[in-house]
Amino acid sequence: MAWQALHNLSDAVQAGRRAVGQGSPGAADRQRGVAMLIALATIAILSIFTLEFTYQSRVAVRTSIYVEDEIDAYLHARAAVELAGLVIGSTDIVESILNKYAQMMQGKKPTINTAAYACEFVNAFCKGNMTLMGIQLVNLEGHPGVGLKHGSCGCTSSDEDGRVNVNRTKTLPEKQAVFDTLYKVLERNEGVARPGEMDKDMAQLALNIIDWSDADGFKTDIEPTTRKLIQGQGPEGTPYTRAGYKVKDAPFDTTEEVRLVEGMDDQRWCKLKDQLTVYNTEKLNVNTASIEVIKALVCKNLANPANEQIACARGMEDNAFVPVNVAGKYMEVCRTLKKMVFSPPFANTAKFVQFFDKLGTVLPPQYSQVLQINHGKMLEDIGTSGKIVRIQAYGTAGKVSKKITALLDTTSQRYVYWRED
Protein backbone atom coordinates (compact mmCIF):
# COMPACT_ATOMS: atom_id res chain seq x y z
CA MET A 1 0.00 0.00 0.00
CA ALA A 2 2.94 2.34 0.68
CA TRP A 3 4.33 1.66 -2.77
CA GLN A 4 0.93 2.41 -4.36
CA ALA A 5 0.78 5.73 -2.53
CA LEU A 6 4.24 6.66 -3.77
CA HIS A 7 3.22 5.77 -7.35
CA ASN A 8 0.11 7.93 -7.06
CA LEU A 9 2.23 10.78 -5.70
CA SER A 10 4.62 10.51 -8.67
CA ASP A 11 1.71 10.65 -11.12
CA ALA A 12 0.35 13.71 -9.40
CA VAL A 13 3.74 15.49 -9.56
CA GLN A 14 4.07 14.79 -13.30
CA ALA A 15 0.52 16.00 -13.94
CA GLY A 16 1.32 19.23 -12.10
CA ARG A 17 4.44 19.82 -14.12
CA ARG A 18 2.58 19.30 -17.38
CA ALA A 19 -0.03 21.77 -16.23
CA VAL A 20 2.59 24.48 -15.71
CA GLY A 21 4.40 23.68 -18.95
CA GLN A 22 7.28 21.63 -17.56
CA GLY A 23 8.45 18.59 -19.46
CA SER A 24 9.33 15.12 -18.21
CA PRO A 25 11.64 14.87 -15.26
CA GLY A 26 15.31 14.69 -16.00
CA ALA A 27 17.94 12.23 -14.79
CA ALA A 28 18.59 14.29 -11.65
CA ASP A 29 14.92 14.23 -10.70
CA ARG A 30 14.77 10.49 -11.19
CA GLN A 31 17.81 10.00 -8.96
CA ARG A 32 16.24 12.12 -6.22
CA GLY A 33 13.04 10.06 -6.45
CA VAL A 34 14.90 6.78 -6.15
CA ALA A 35 16.85 8.12 -3.16
CA MET A 36 13.62 9.18 -1.47
CA LEU A 37 12.11 5.74 -1.99
CA ILE A 38 15.20 4.02 -0.58
CA ALA A 39 15.10 6.33 2.46
CA LEU A 40 11.43 5.58 3.08
CA ALA A 41 12.00 1.82 2.78
CA THR A 42 14.96 2.04 5.17
CA ILE A 43 12.91 3.97 7.71
CA ALA A 44 10.10 1.39 7.47
CA ILE A 45 12.50 -1.52 8.00
CA LEU A 46 14.21 0.19 10.94
CA SER A 47 10.83 0.96 12.49
CA ILE A 48 9.89 -2.72 12.36
CA PHE A 49 13.21 -3.72 13.95
CA THR A 50 12.77 -1.04 16.63
CA LEU A 51 9.28 -2.24 17.54
CA GLU A 52 10.44 -5.87 17.71
CA PHE A 53 13.46 -4.93 19.84
CA THR A 54 11.23 -2.92 22.20
CA TYR A 55 8.79 -5.82 22.54
CA GLN A 56 11.56 -8.36 23.16
CA SER A 57 13.16 -6.04 25.71
CA ARG A 58 9.90 -5.71 27.63
CA VAL A 59 9.45 -9.48 27.60
CA ALA A 60 13.02 -9.98 28.83
CA VAL A 61 12.58 -7.44 31.63
CA ARG A 62 9.33 -9.04 32.79
CA THR A 63 10.88 -12.50 32.59
CA SER A 64 13.91 -11.42 34.61
CA ILE A 65 11.63 -9.87 37.26
CA TYR A 66 9.63 -13.11 37.48
CA VAL A 67 12.80 -15.21 37.70
CA GLU A 68 14.14 -12.92 40.42
CA ASP A 69 10.87 -13.20 42.34
CA GLU A 70 10.91 -16.97 41.91
CA ILE A 71 14.42 -17.21 43.34
CA ASP A 72 13.52 -14.88 46.22
CA ALA A 73 10.38 -16.85 47.03
CA TYR A 74 12.29 -20.14 47.02
CA LEU A 75 15.07 -18.76 49.22
CA HIS A 76 12.48 -17.39 51.66
CA ALA A 77 10.81 -20.80 51.95
CA ARG A 78 14.18 -22.54 52.22
CA ALA A 79 15.27 -20.14 54.97
CA ALA A 80 12.06 -20.87 56.89
CA VAL A 81 12.74 -24.63 56.76
CA GLU A 82 16.37 -24.28 57.82
CA LEU A 83 15.53 -21.91 60.67
CA ALA A 84 12.83 -24.27 61.94
CA GLY A 85 15.31 -27.15 61.79
CA LEU A 86 17.88 -25.08 63.68
CA VAL A 87 15.39 -24.32 66.47
CA ILE A 88 14.24 -27.94 66.67
CA GLY A 89 17.85 -29.07 66.93
CA SER A 90 18.59 -26.63 69.76
CA THR A 91 17.18 -28.94 72.45
CA ASP A 92 20.37 -28.80 74.55
CA ILE A 93 20.28 -24.99 74.64
CA VAL A 94 16.61 -24.95 75.58
CA GLU A 95 17.17 -27.55 78.30
CA SER A 96 20.03 -25.50 79.74
CA ILE A 97 17.86 -22.38 79.87
CA LEU A 98 14.98 -24.29 81.49
CA ASN A 99 17.29 -25.78 84.12
CA LYS A 100 18.56 -22.32 85.07
CA TYR A 101 14.97 -21.03 85.16
CA ALA A 102 13.94 -23.84 87.49
CA GLN A 103 16.89 -23.11 89.79
CA MET A 104 16.07 -19.41 89.93
CA MET A 105 12.38 -20.05 90.63
CA GLN A 106 13.15 -22.98 92.94
CA GLY A 107 10.50 -25.00 91.19
CA LYS A 108 10.00 -27.83 88.75
CA LYS A 109 11.61 -27.49 85.36
CA PRO A 110 8.97 -26.85 82.68
CA THR A 111 8.86 -29.12 79.65
CA ILE A 112 8.86 -27.38 76.28
CA ASN A 113 8.77 -29.23 72.99
CA THR A 114 10.92 -27.16 70.64
CA ALA A 115 9.25 -28.74 67.60
CA ALA A 116 5.87 -27.41 68.67
CA TYR A 117 7.05 -23.79 68.85
CA ALA A 118 9.84 -23.74 66.24
CA CYS A 119 7.74 -21.96 63.65
CA GLU A 120 6.87 -19.18 66.09
CA PHE A 121 10.56 -18.24 66.01
CA VAL A 122 10.61 -18.54 62.22
CA ASN A 123 7.60 -16.27 61.90
CA ALA A 124 9.32 -13.77 64.20
CA PHE A 125 12.32 -13.71 61.85
CA CYS A 126 10.12 -13.39 58.75
CA LYS A 127 7.75 -10.73 60.09
CA GLY A 128 9.83 -8.95 62.69
CA ASN A 129 7.44 -9.68 65.55
CA MET A 130 6.54 -12.73 67.59
CA THR A 131 3.16 -13.63 69.00
CA LEU A 132 2.31 -16.61 71.15
CA MET A 133 -1.24 -17.57 72.00
CA GLY A 134 -2.37 -14.26 70.52
CA ILE A 135 -0.04 -12.19 72.73
CA GLN A 136 2.77 -10.16 71.14
CA LEU A 137 6.03 -11.09 72.85
CA VAL A 138 8.64 -9.38 70.66
CA ASN A 139 8.49 -6.56 68.11
CA LEU A 140 11.69 -6.16 66.07
CA GLU A 141 10.23 -4.44 63.03
CA GLY A 142 12.78 -2.11 61.46
CA HIS A 143 15.79 -3.79 63.05
CA PRO A 144 18.51 -4.94 60.62
CA GLY A 145 18.64 -8.66 59.94
CA VAL A 146 15.01 -9.22 60.90
CA GLY A 147 12.07 -9.24 58.54
CA LEU A 148 12.03 -9.23 54.76
CA LYS A 149 12.17 -6.16 52.53
CA HIS A 150 10.67 -8.01 49.59
CA GLY A 151 8.14 -10.82 50.04
CA SER A 152 7.25 -12.91 53.06
CA CYS A 153 7.84 -16.32 54.61
CA GLY A 154 6.57 -18.54 57.41
CA CYS A 155 5.94 -22.14 58.40
CA THR A 156 3.95 -24.62 60.47
CA SER A 157 5.25 -27.75 62.16
CA SER A 158 3.60 -30.97 63.28
CA ASP A 159 4.65 -34.26 64.80
CA GLU A 160 4.72 -37.17 62.33
CA ASP A 161 4.62 -39.63 65.24
CA GLY A 162 0.99 -38.70 65.78
CA ARG A 163 0.10 -40.71 62.65
CA VAL A 164 -0.33 -44.43 62.01
CA ASN A 165 2.85 -45.95 60.51
CA VAL A 166 1.85 -48.32 57.68
CA ASN A 167 5.44 -49.43 56.97
CA ARG A 168 5.84 -51.61 60.06
CA THR A 169 5.09 -54.89 58.29
CA LYS A 170 8.23 -57.01 58.67
CA THR A 171 6.69 -59.65 60.93
CA LEU A 172 3.20 -61.07 61.37
CA PRO A 173 2.80 -59.50 64.85
CA GLU A 174 3.74 -56.08 63.37
CA LYS A 175 1.24 -56.62 60.57
CA GLN A 176 -1.41 -57.52 63.12
CA ALA A 177 -0.78 -54.33 65.09
CA VAL A 178 -0.93 -52.18 61.95
CA PHE A 179 -4.10 -53.92 60.75
CA ASP A 180 -5.93 -53.53 64.08
CA THR A 181 -5.19 -49.80 64.29
CA LEU A 182 -5.65 -49.08 60.59
CA TYR A 183 -8.96 -50.91 60.43
CA LYS A 184 -10.32 -48.92 63.36
CA VAL A 185 -9.17 -45.67 61.74
CA LEU A 186 -10.97 -46.70 58.54
CA GLU A 187 -14.09 -47.51 60.56
CA ARG A 188 -14.08 -44.08 62.17
CA ASN A 189 -13.61 -42.37 58.80
CA GLU A 190 -16.14 -44.38 56.83
CA GLY A 191 -19.00 -44.32 59.31
CA VAL A 192 -20.53 -47.52 57.93
CA ALA A 193 -21.30 -50.97 59.31
CA ARG A 194 -22.17 -51.66 62.91
CA PRO A 195 -19.36 -51.74 65.48
CA GLY A 196 -18.32 -55.27 66.20
CA GLU A 197 -19.12 -56.43 62.68
CA MET A 198 -16.26 -56.58 60.22
CA ASP A 199 -16.68 -54.60 57.03
CA LYS A 200 -15.11 -56.68 54.25
CA ASP A 201 -14.19 -53.71 52.02
CA MET A 202 -12.42 -51.82 54.79
CA ALA A 203 -10.65 -54.97 55.99
CA GLN A 204 -9.48 -55.71 52.46
CA LEU A 205 -8.17 -52.16 52.02
CA ALA A 206 -6.18 -52.47 55.26
CA LEU A 207 -4.78 -55.81 54.07
CA ASN A 208 -3.90 -54.33 50.66
CA ILE A 209 -1.90 -51.55 52.34
CA ILE A 210 -0.01 -54.14 54.40
CA ASP A 211 0.65 -56.37 51.37
CA TRP A 212 2.03 -53.45 49.38
CA SER A 213 4.76 -52.75 51.93
CA ASP A 214 5.63 -56.25 53.12
CA ALA A 215 8.46 -58.20 51.49
CA ASP A 216 6.63 -61.35 50.39
CA GLY A 217 4.51 -61.84 47.29
CA PHE A 218 1.60 -63.63 48.95
CA LYS A 219 -1.67 -62.15 50.10
CA THR A 220 -2.18 -61.64 53.81
CA ASP A 221 -5.51 -63.09 54.89
CA ILE A 222 -7.64 -62.80 57.99
CA GLU A 223 -9.65 -65.21 60.10
CA PRO A 224 -13.07 -63.45 60.34
CA THR A 225 -14.15 -64.64 63.79
CA THR A 226 -10.90 -63.91 65.63
CA ARG A 227 -9.63 -61.16 63.27
CA LYS A 228 -6.19 -62.72 63.41
CA LEU A 229 -3.99 -62.34 60.34
CA ILE A 230 -2.76 -65.45 58.60
CA GLN A 231 -0.43 -66.02 55.66
CA GLY A 232 -2.50 -66.46 52.52
CA GLN A 233 -1.63 -68.51 49.45
CA GLY A 234 -2.67 -66.40 46.48
CA PRO A 235 -0.51 -63.77 44.73
CA GLU A 236 -0.89 -60.14 45.79
CA GLY A 237 -0.52 -58.51 42.39
CA THR A 238 -3.55 -59.82 40.50
CA PRO A 239 -5.77 -56.71 41.02
CA TYR A 240 -2.98 -54.42 39.76
CA THR A 241 -2.53 -56.01 36.32
CA ARG A 242 -5.41 -54.03 34.86
CA ALA A 243 -3.91 -50.82 36.31
CA GLY A 244 -0.65 -51.44 34.45
CA TYR A 245 1.73 -51.75 37.42
CA LYS A 246 2.80 -54.31 40.01
CA VAL A 247 2.48 -54.46 43.77
CA LYS A 248 5.68 -53.05 45.28
CA ASP A 249 6.51 -55.61 48.02
CA ALA A 250 8.72 -53.02 49.68
CA PRO A 251 8.15 -50.16 52.15
CA PHE A 252 6.31 -47.07 50.99
CA ASP A 253 8.70 -44.27 50.04
CA THR A 254 6.16 -41.49 50.57
CA THR A 255 2.73 -41.20 52.08
CA GLU A 256 1.32 -40.24 48.66
CA GLU A 257 2.29 -43.71 47.40
CA VAL A 258 -0.58 -45.15 49.44
CA ARG A 259 -2.87 -43.81 46.70
CA LEU A 260 -1.63 -46.60 44.40
CA VAL A 261 -3.02 -49.33 46.65
CA GLU A 262 -6.03 -51.25 45.34
CA GLY A 263 -9.22 -49.89 46.90
CA MET A 264 -7.83 -46.47 47.82
CA ASP A 265 -10.04 -43.92 46.07
CA ASP A 266 -9.83 -40.12 46.25
CA GLN A 267 -12.55 -39.79 48.87
CA ARG A 268 -10.85 -42.19 51.27
CA TRP A 269 -7.44 -40.66 50.61
CA CYS A 270 -8.67 -37.18 51.54
CA LYS A 271 -9.80 -38.54 54.90
CA LEU A 272 -6.70 -40.62 55.57
CA LYS A 273 -3.81 -38.54 54.24
CA ASP A 274 -3.23 -36.66 57.51
CA GLN A 275 -3.62 -39.78 59.67
CA LEU A 276 -1.02 -42.04 58.01
CA THR A 277 2.75 -41.96 57.79
CA VAL A 278 5.42 -44.15 56.19
CA TYR A 279 8.40 -42.82 58.13
CA ASN A 280 10.37 -44.27 60.98
CA THR A 281 7.88 -43.70 63.76
CA GLU A 282 7.28 -46.30 66.44
CA LYS A 283 4.50 -45.82 68.98
CA LEU A 284 1.70 -43.33 68.36
CA ASN A 285 2.29 -40.01 70.12
CA VAL A 286 -0.99 -39.31 71.95
CA ASN A 287 0.09 -35.73 72.65
CA THR A 288 -0.09 -34.84 68.96
CA ALA A 289 -2.29 -37.49 67.30
CA SER A 290 -5.59 -36.29 65.90
CA ILE A 291 -8.63 -36.89 68.08
CA GLU A 292 -10.09 -39.22 65.44
CA VAL A 293 -6.98 -41.43 65.61
CA ILE A 294 -7.18 -41.47 69.41
CA LYS A 295 -10.85 -42.45 69.19
CA ALA A 296 -9.85 -45.33 66.94
CA LEU A 297 -7.26 -46.46 69.53
CA VAL A 298 -9.85 -46.30 72.30
CA CYS A 299 -12.32 -48.38 70.30
CA LYS A 300 -9.57 -50.87 69.51
CA ASN A 301 -8.45 -51.26 73.14
CA LEU A 302 -11.69 -51.32 75.10
CA ALA A 303 -11.52 -53.46 78.23
CA ASN A 304 -14.77 -55.12 77.17
CA PRO A 305 -15.03 -55.34 73.35
CA ALA A 306 -18.74 -56.06 73.73
CA ASN A 307 -19.21 -52.39 74.68
CA GLU A 308 -17.96 -51.20 71.29
CA GLN A 309 -21.41 -50.93 69.73
CA ILE A 310 -22.46 -48.47 72.44
CA ALA A 311 -19.17 -46.70 73.06
CA CYS A 312 -18.13 -46.21 69.46
CA ALA A 313 -21.28 -45.80 67.37
CA ARG A 314 -20.27 -44.36 64.00
CA GLY A 315 -21.86 -42.08 61.46
CA MET A 316 -22.52 -39.54 64.23
CA GLU A 317 -19.09 -37.97 64.78
CA ASP A 318 -20.46 -34.89 66.55
CA ASN A 319 -23.28 -36.65 68.37
CA ALA A 320 -23.03 -35.89 72.07
CA PHE A 321 -24.69 -39.20 72.95
CA VAL A 322 -21.79 -41.28 71.65
CA PRO A 323 -19.45 -41.84 74.63
CA VAL A 324 -16.19 -41.85 72.66
CA ASN A 325 -17.10 -38.52 71.06
CA VAL A 326 -17.73 -36.95 74.46
CA ALA A 327 -14.43 -38.29 75.78
CA GLY A 328 -12.69 -36.93 72.69
CA LYS A 329 -14.02 -33.42 73.33
CA TYR A 330 -12.82 -33.50 76.93
CA MET A 331 -9.40 -34.70 75.81
CA GLU A 332 -9.12 -31.93 73.22
CA VAL A 333 -9.89 -29.32 75.90
CA CYS A 334 -7.29 -30.90 78.19
CA ARG A 335 -4.61 -30.90 75.48
CA THR A 336 -5.34 -27.30 74.51
CA LEU A 337 -5.09 -26.02 78.09
CA LYS A 338 -1.84 -27.87 78.71
CA LYS A 339 -0.26 -26.48 75.54
CA MET A 340 -1.19 -22.94 76.59
CA VAL A 341 1.04 -23.27 79.63
CA PHE A 342 3.90 -24.89 77.64
CA SER A 343 3.24 -28.29 79.13
CA PRO A 344 2.78 -31.59 77.28
CA PRO A 345 -0.82 -32.83 77.60
CA PHE A 346 0.36 -36.19 78.96
CA ALA A 347 3.75 -36.37 80.65
CA ASN A 348 3.87 -40.15 80.18
CA THR A 349 1.72 -42.99 78.90
CA ALA A 350 0.47 -43.81 82.39
CA LYS A 351 -1.15 -40.35 82.57
CA PHE A 352 -2.97 -41.06 79.31
CA VAL A 353 -4.55 -44.32 80.45
CA GLN A 354 -5.43 -42.72 83.80
CA PHE A 355 -7.42 -40.11 81.91
CA PHE A 356 -10.01 -42.77 81.09
CA ASP A 357 -10.07 -44.04 84.67
CA LYS A 358 -11.05 -40.51 85.77
CA LEU A 359 -13.82 -40.01 83.23
CA GLY A 360 -16.36 -41.07 85.85
CA THR A 361 -15.85 -37.72 87.61
CA VAL A 362 -17.05 -35.70 84.59
CA LEU A 363 -19.21 -38.10 82.56
CA PRO A 364 -22.38 -39.96 83.41
CA PRO A 365 -21.61 -43.41 84.88
CA GLN A 366 -22.99 -45.25 81.83
CA TYR A 367 -20.50 -43.39 79.64
CA SER A 368 -17.42 -43.96 81.76
CA GLN A 369 -18.23 -47.62 82.29
CA VAL A 370 -18.33 -48.52 78.59
CA LEU A 371 -15.16 -46.50 77.92
CA GLN A 372 -12.92 -48.44 80.29
CA ILE A 373 -9.80 -49.45 78.37
CA ASN A 374 -7.40 -52.35 78.50
CA HIS A 375 -4.31 -50.67 79.96
CA GLY A 376 -1.84 -53.29 78.80
CA LYS A 377 -2.99 -53.27 75.18
CA MET A 378 -3.17 -49.48 75.06
CA LEU A 379 0.36 -49.09 76.43
CA GLU A 380 1.68 -51.30 73.62
CA ASP A 381 0.39 -48.78 71.06
CA ILE A 382 1.13 -45.36 72.51
CA GLY A 383 3.96 -43.01 73.42
CA THR A 384 4.19 -39.37 74.48
CA SER A 385 7.07 -38.11 72.36
CA GLY A 386 8.13 -38.13 68.74
CA LYS A 387 11.23 -37.92 66.61
CA ILE A 388 9.96 -37.07 63.11
CA VAL A 389 8.80 -33.47 62.59
CA ARG A 390 6.93 -32.28 59.49
CA ILE A 391 7.80 -28.70 58.49
CA GLN A 392 5.62 -26.94 55.91
CA ALA A 393 7.20 -23.64 54.87
CA TYR A 394 6.20 -21.00 52.35
CA GLY A 395 7.90 -18.06 50.70
CA THR A 396 6.47 -15.28 48.53
CA ALA A 397 7.94 -12.52 46.36
CA GLY A 398 5.86 -10.39 44.04
CA LYS A 399 3.24 -12.67 42.52
CA VAL A 400 5.31 -15.82 43.02
CA SER A 401 4.86 -18.24 45.92
CA LYS A 402 6.86 -21.35 46.79
CA LYS A 403 6.12 -24.14 49.25
CA ILE A 404 8.53 -26.65 50.79
CA THR A 405 7.48 -29.68 52.82
CA ALA A 406 10.29 -31.34 54.77
CA LEU A 407 10.39 -34.11 57.36
CA LEU A 408 13.22 -33.84 59.87
CA ASP A 409 14.49 -36.81 61.88
CA THR A 410 15.40 -35.12 65.16
CA THR A 411 17.63 -37.99 66.28
CA SER A 412 20.01 -37.64 63.33
CA GLN A 413 19.13 -34.05 62.33
CA ARG A 414 18.67 -35.23 58.75
CA TYR A 415 15.78 -34.66 56.39
CA VAL A 416 14.04 -37.90 55.39
CA TYR A 417 11.65 -36.18 52.95
CA TRP A 418 11.83 -33.02 50.87
CA ARG A 419 9.30 -31.67 48.40
CA GLU A 420 9.22 -28.31 46.63
CA ASP A 421 6.04 -26.90 45.07
C-beta of residue 129 within 8 angstroms of C-beta of residue 122: no
pLDDT digit string (tens) for 260-278? 998 888 888 988 888 999 9
Is-contact 351 372, C-beta < 8 A?
no
- Cα 390 to Cα 81, 184, 348: the distances in Å are 10, 24, 22
- Give CA–CA dist 269/221, Å, rounded: 23
Host domain of residue 84: 67-162+388-420
The pLDDT, as a whole number, for residue 57 is: 74
Is pTM, for the whole model, over 0.85? no
Asked whether residue 74 is domain-assigned, the answer is yes
Answer whether residue 414 is part of any domain: yes
Domain count of the chain? 1
pLDDT for 196 equals 61
Q: Are 64 and 384 in contact (CB under 8 A)?
A: no
- Which residues in the chain show pLDDT less than 70? 1-30, 92-112, 129-147, 191-196, 237, 314-320, 342
Q: Within a domain: residue 361?
A: no
In a domain, 135, yes or no: yes
- DSSP 8-state secondary structure symbol assigned to residue 39: H
**Three-state SS string across 163-204, please?**
CEECCCCCCHHHHHHHHHHHHHHHHHHHCCCCCCCCCHHHHH
Question: In this structure, is residue 244 part of a structural domain?
Answer: no
pLDDT in tens, 99-146: 665 566 566 655 667 777 788 778 878 877 666 555 665 666 666 656
| Residue 212 CB-density burial (10 A; 0-12 exposed, 13-18 middle, 19+ buried) | buried
- pLDDT for the residue numbered 1: 45
